[in-house]
């Protein structure tokens, strides 16, 4: 692509052949030194949000073919290519490259995975009014309409990158000729395409964020956001309370955001809502600082939503839809009264968001094996398939062991349950599973034939003493869904330490294994545990009497409600934490049908080497990269558990980490014991996705089961240290635990853990603005009263103080 022009005369790319009217009024900064790349990305985003001439100028960020950096920006009005390049490089703090200013300059386009950010205005045609204004600015300087010809006196056009002069004139205009971003607006920082507004707060460097003087003037708060704000206000216990009252409005807004308002709307949208709901407070700088600080500290869209947030989001969407339908009906009635004809197509009411928040987004770059197995799957089904492939892959391993970080030896015991709505497309996992299991099914077919011949022979001979014994080496790995418990034990005994496997269309098909006392759940638990023992003892000579180690991988699918009911009696008994759960997002009503690719012979040939590697593996296999990743993920989970004090999350994360580690090991072996850099990102996402599903579908029921008679708080995990002020008392921490529905007896242990982990430090009363008995200290951030006991200062997750 050409950075500056889109048309050249005579099909020849040169300066003299460039068509002035095709000038794009944009240029590309080339950061050719790797040590500046990360800094330049961060600074470009910061400048894009600043009150300078670079506000809204960022159009595109991408890695070059050599993993350097291309930054495409809209040129400020009146500035030439060279002036823009010099000024922007100076603002970025990177060296200026003279080779980047030639008008005919060409750039190689890199792949989609190399794209970091794309503005909606990237490569769009400027409106005629905007083109006329920009060309006139060049003509006024004695230049051509594309900013060339004639030497410009450097004193004639002074550039100050840190000035906000003429910011309004240099903003990019929208398609209607009006400025796309108005002066003083809270600008959404440039982000990757898969980011959310909640992540925007951490893009600026220290001191780099400029709090706008007023709220955004462009756009109004949506009906759904206004309704959601009222619902979160009620959830925070502030129903029928005047939240805009001086003295309590800071803590009221903090409580509403903590209840979940910040999870379902962007920072800019919340500012618009606050302008309506808290008009007096919205005009104060303290309000702007509070909102920005909250999003900067808590803006993490990778953590699971609590059931309350899911419920309120769905309720707000429903009420907003009902309001839109009612307004549409009123509009139609009014139109009918005026003898106007209204077509039924005007009643096209459609939800703009799903009723349930989406799970963590799947990485763009995947391990080769995963990439192959999802390559023919529609995008909406790829996350489900990416989880479902592991039980059949692991079934190919035999006598293969992996040492986990606790020094316990595990086999690849993987079970996957897909929970999705009716008609969601749960059968999407079937074809990849069929292709993975092809070689095992071929061998099973031969052994099933041998077994049938033996049974027929025994039947013919009746009581004849010369009946042949049961054939040896009768390894049959894939079992039937309707198999009884004795048959399961027999198949396990004959498998010679191979894994058994089954794929169930419905989870309740497991009930055939229940035997006496819900044995199917016991089998699920034992199948995950190393060195387990299971079997049955019978008196009859023809009965099955065996003690075996269960090696049983499986896939199952069911609807969400049915799955929740099926596990409702064993919520705290172990099956849920041992199973890998996944889901399929609900599609819009009337959405296009997903179309699958073709699983041809080429697909089979590409899959074959991976299957052979799994079949050939044996013994204890050490994968240092998987081991290190498991330790890293364990620490990340532990840190979040300490901050959230969510016991359910912590308990579920233990085995979720084992599952993730085993997935990494399976990918490592399938790849010929070669590690891929993509495995780490994929496995981290896989574990987050698994925990997301478990928290979403089972958390509240687990809490209720563990605390019978105690009402569940129905909250998602939250970082308690972030909710406390920078300096706090023991009583404040105790009160916060109480407000969050946690046992206050655990306060002392929690504080001790935080001190030991160096999250906080104990301070003397009276030090750094904390005075024993001073109830006014830092009350702008928290409405918990100080006591005459111990005081602490945070060493991390600090709040920014309003000046």
DSSP 77-110: TT--HHHHHHHHHHHHT----GGG--TT-B-PPP
For the purposes of burial, counting CB atoms within 10 Å of the CB of 557, is it exposed (0-12), middle (13-18) or buried (19 or more)?
buried
Length of the chain: 803
Query: What pLDDT score does 336 carry?
Result: 43
Tell me: pLDDT of 68 over 80. Answer: yes
Mean pLDDT: which of 276-285, 342-351, 663-672 is highest?
Answer: 663-672
Residue 238 pLDDT grade (very low, low, confident, very high; cuts 50, 70, 90): confident
Structure-model confidence comparison of residues 183 and 747, the more confident one: 747
Give the separation between CA 629 and CA 624, rounded to whole angstroms.
Answer: 8
**What would you measure as the largest C-alpha separation in the chain, in angstroms?**
113
Task: Give the range among 8-22, 280-294, 297-311, 542-556 with minimum mean pLDDT.
Answer: 297-311
Tell me: pLDDT of 708 over 80. Answer: no
Give me the residue spans of the domains in the chain. Answer: 9-172, 720-794
Report which secondary-structure segment, H or E, holds 70: strand 69-74
Token reading at 147: 């900013």
DSSP 670-711: HTTS---HHHHHHHHHHHHHHHHHHHHHHHHHHHHHHSTTS-
- Residues 611-640 have a mean pLDDT of 93
Structure-model confidence comparison of residues 206 and 307, the more confident one: 307
Query: What pLDDT score does 417 carry?
Result: 95
Q: How many CB atoms lie within 10 A of CB 551?
A: 24
- Sorted by sequence, the CB contacts under 8 Å of residue 615 that are 6+ apart come out as 396, 398, 439
Give the separation between CA 803 and CA 284, rounded to whole angstroms.
Answer: 12
Give the separation between CA 648 and CA 691, rounded to whole angstroms.
Answer: 10
Residue 199 to residues 226, 229, 636, Cα–Cα distance (Å):
21, 20, 19
3-state secondary structure of 390: helix
What does the pLDDT look like over 250-266, one tens digit per residue?
Answer: 878 888 888 888 888 88
Q: Is the dihedral of CA 759, 764, 770, 774 positive or negative?
A: positive
Structure-model confidence comparison of residues 537 and 1, the more confident one: 1
C-alpha angle 319-321-327 in degrees, rounded to nearest 5 = 100
User: Are the C-beta atoms of 661 and 623 separated by less than 8 Å?
Assistant: no
Residue 89 to residues 94, 99, 159, 392, 802, Cα–Cα distance (Å):
5, 13, 12, 53, 32
Strands 400-403, 415-419: pairing kind: unpaired
Q: How many CB atoms lie within 10 A of CB 209?
A: 21
What does the pLDDT look like over 780-800, one tens digit per residue?
Answer: 333 333 333 578 899 988 877
Query: What pLDDT score does 310 carry?
Result: 83
- Residues 257-281 have a mean pLDDT of 85
Mean pLDDT of the chain: 78
Query: What pLDDT score does 615 carry?
Result: 94
Structure-model confidence comparison of residues 194 and 120, the more confident one: 120
Tell me: pLDDT of 152 over 70. Answer: no
Residue 518 pLDDT grade (very low, low, confident, very high; cuts 50, 70, 90): low
Task: Give the range among 43-57, 116-130, 179-193 with minimum mean pLDDT.
Answer: 179-193
Tell me: pLDDT of 55 over 90. Answer: no
Token reading at 692: 């997301």
Tell me: pLDDT of 235 over 80. Answer: yes
Token reading at 483: 């198999």
- Residues 419-447 have a mean pLDDT of 91
Query: What pLDDT score does 322 carry?
Result: 78
Tell me: pLDDT of 677 over 50. Answer: yes
Token reading at 515: 């035997």
Query: What pLDDT score does 301 carry?
Result: 64
Mean pLDDT: which of 209-218, 515-524, 615-624 is highest?
Answer: 615-624
Residue 300 pLDDT grade (very low, low, confident, very high; cuts 50, 70, 90): low
- Residues 439-463 have a mean pLDDT of 83
**Cα atoms found within 13 Å of the Cα of residue 210, Cβ hemisphere only:** 18
For the purposes of burial, counting CB atoms within 10 Å of the CB of 176, is it exposed (0-12), middle (13-18) or buried (19 or more)?
exposed
Residue 19 pLDDT grade (very low, low, confident, very high; cuts 50, 70, 90): confident
Task: Give the range among 74-88, 624-638, 687-701 with minimum mean pLDDT.
Answer: 74-88
Query: What pLDDT score does 715 carry?
Result: 56
Query: What pLDDT score does 573 carry?
Result: 83
Query: What pLDDT score does 388 carry?
Result: 96
What does the pLDDT look like over 316-347, one tens digit per residue?
Answer: 888 887 787 777 666 555 444 443 332 332 22
Query: What pLDDT score does 419 carry?
Result: 93
Q: Is the dihedral of CA 420, 423, 425, 426 positive or negative?
A: positive
Residue 711 pLDDT grade (very low, low, confident, very high; cuts 50, 70, 90): very low
Query: What pLDDT score does 466 carry?
Result: 65
Tell me: pLDDT of 171 over 50. Answer: no
Residue 622 pLDDT grade (very low, low, confident, very high; cuts 50, 70, 90): very high
Task: Give the range among 535-544, 545-554, 741-750 with minimum mean pLDDT.
Answer: 535-544
Q: Is the dihedral of CA 371, 374, 377, 382 positive or negative?
A: negative
Query: What pLDDT score does 620 carry?
Result: 94
- Residues 449-454 have a mean pLDDT of 86
Token reading at 559: 């609807």
| Location of structure tokens 């609900």 | 586
What does the pLDDT look like over 352-375, one tens digit per residue?
Answer: 334 456 788 999 999 999 999 999
Q: pTM of the entire structure?
A: 0.50
Tell me: pLDDT of 713 over 50. Answer: no
Query: What pLDDT score does 347 carry?
Result: 26
Tell me: pLDDT of 45 over 70. Answer: yes
The DSSP call for residue 319 is H
Strands 552-558, 409-410: pairing kind: unpaired
């Amino acid at each position: 692509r050409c950075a500056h022009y889109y048309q050249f005369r005579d099909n020849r790319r040169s300066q003299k052949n460039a068509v002035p009217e095709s000038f794009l009024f944009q240029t590309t900064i080339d950061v050719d030194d790797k040590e500046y790349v990360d800094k330049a990305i961060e600074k470009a985003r910061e400048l894009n949000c600043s009150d300078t001439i670079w506000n809204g100028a960022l159009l595109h960020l991408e890695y070059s073919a050599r993993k350097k950096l291309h930054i495409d920006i809209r040129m400020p009005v009146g500035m030439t290519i060279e002036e823009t390049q010099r000024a922007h490089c100076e603002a970025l703090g990177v060296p200026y490259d003279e080779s980047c200013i030639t008008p005919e300059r060409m750039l190689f386009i890199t792949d989609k995975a190399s794209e970091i950010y794309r503005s909606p205005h990237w490569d769009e045609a400027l409106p005629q009014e905007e083109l006329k204004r920009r060309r006139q600015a060049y003509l006024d300087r004695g230049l051509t309409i594309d900013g060339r010809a004639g030497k410009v006196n450097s004193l004639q056009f002074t550039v100050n990158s840190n000035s906000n002069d003429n910011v309004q004139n240099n903003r990019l205009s929208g398609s209607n000729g009006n400025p796309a971003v108005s002066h003083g607006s809270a600008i959404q920082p440039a982000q990757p395409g898969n980011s959310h507004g909640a992540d925007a707060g951490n893009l600026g460097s220290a001191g780099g964020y400029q709090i706008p003087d007023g709220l955004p003037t462009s756009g109004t708060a949506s009906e759904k956001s206004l309704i959601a704000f009222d619902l979160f206000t009620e959830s925070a216990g502030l129903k029928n309370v005047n939240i805009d009252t001086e003295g309590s409005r800071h803590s009221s807004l903090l409580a509403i955001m903590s209840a979940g308002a910040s999870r379902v709307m962007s920072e800019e949208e919340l500012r618009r809502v606050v302008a309506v709901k808290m008009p007096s407070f919205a005009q104060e700088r303290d309000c702007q600082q509070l909102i920005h600080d909250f999003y900067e500290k808590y803006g993490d869209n990778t953590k699971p939503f609590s059931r309350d947030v899911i419920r309120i989001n769905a309720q707000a969407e429903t009420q907003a839809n009902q309001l839109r339908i009612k307004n549409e009906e009123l509009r139609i009635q009014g139109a009918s009264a005026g003898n106007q004809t209204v077509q039924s197509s005007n009643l096209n009411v459609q939800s703009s968001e799903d009723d349930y928040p989406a799970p963590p987004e799947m990485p763009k770059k995947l391990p080769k094996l995963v990439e192959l197995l999802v390559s023919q799957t529609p995008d909406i089904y790829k996350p489900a398939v990416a989880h479902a492939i592991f039980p059949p892959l692991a079934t190919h391993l035999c006598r293969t062991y992996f040492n986990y970080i606790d020094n316990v030896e595990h086999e690849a015991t993987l079970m996957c349950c897909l929970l999705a709505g009716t008609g969601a497309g749960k059968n999407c996992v079937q074809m990849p599973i069929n292709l993975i299991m092809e070689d095992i099914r071929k061998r099973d077919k031969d052994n099933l034939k041998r077994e049938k011949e033996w049974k027929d022979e025994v039947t013919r001979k009746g009581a004849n003493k010369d009946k042949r014994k049961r054939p040896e080496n009768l390894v049959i790995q894939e079992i039937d869904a309707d198999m009884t418990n004795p048959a399961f034990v027999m198949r396990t005994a004959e498998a010679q330490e191979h894994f058994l496997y089954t794929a169930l269309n419905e989870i309740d098909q497991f009930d055939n294994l229940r035997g006496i006392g819900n044995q199917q759940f016991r089998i699920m638990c034992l199948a995950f545990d190393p060195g387990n023992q299971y079997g049955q003892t019978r008196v009859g000579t023809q009965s099955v009497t065996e003690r075996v180690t269960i090696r049983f991988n499986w896939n199952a699918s069911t609807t969400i409600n049915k799955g929740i009911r099926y596990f409702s009696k064993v919520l705290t008994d172990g099956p849920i934490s041992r199973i890998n759960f996944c889901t399929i997002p609900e599609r819009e009503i009337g959405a296009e049908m997903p179309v699958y690719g073709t699983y041809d012979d080429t697909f089979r040939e590409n899959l074959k080497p991976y299957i052979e590697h799994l079949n050939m593996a044996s013994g204890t296999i050490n994968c240092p990269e998987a081991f290190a990743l498991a330790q890293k993920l364990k620490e990340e989970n532990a840190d979040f558990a300490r901050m959230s004090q969510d016991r359910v999350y912590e308990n579920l994360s233990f085995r979720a980490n084992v599952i993730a580690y085993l997935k990494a090991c399976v990918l490592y072996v399938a790849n010929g014991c070669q590690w891929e850099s993509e495995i780490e990102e994929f496995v981290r996402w896989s574990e987050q996705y698994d925990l997301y599903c478990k928290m979403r579908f089972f958390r509240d029921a687990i809490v209720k089961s563990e605390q019978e008679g105690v009402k569940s708080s129905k909250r998602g995990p939250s970082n308690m240290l972030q909710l406390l002020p920078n300096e706090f008392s023991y009583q404040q921490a105790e009160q916060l635990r109480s407000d969050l529905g946690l046992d206050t007896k655990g306060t002392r242990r929690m504080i001790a853990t935080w001190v030991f982990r160096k999250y906080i430090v104990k301070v003397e009363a009276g030090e750094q603005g904390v005075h024993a008995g001073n109830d006014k200290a830092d009350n702008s951030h928290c409405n918990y009263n100080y006591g005459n006991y111990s005081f602490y200062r945070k060493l991390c997750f600090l709040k920014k103080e309003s000046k």
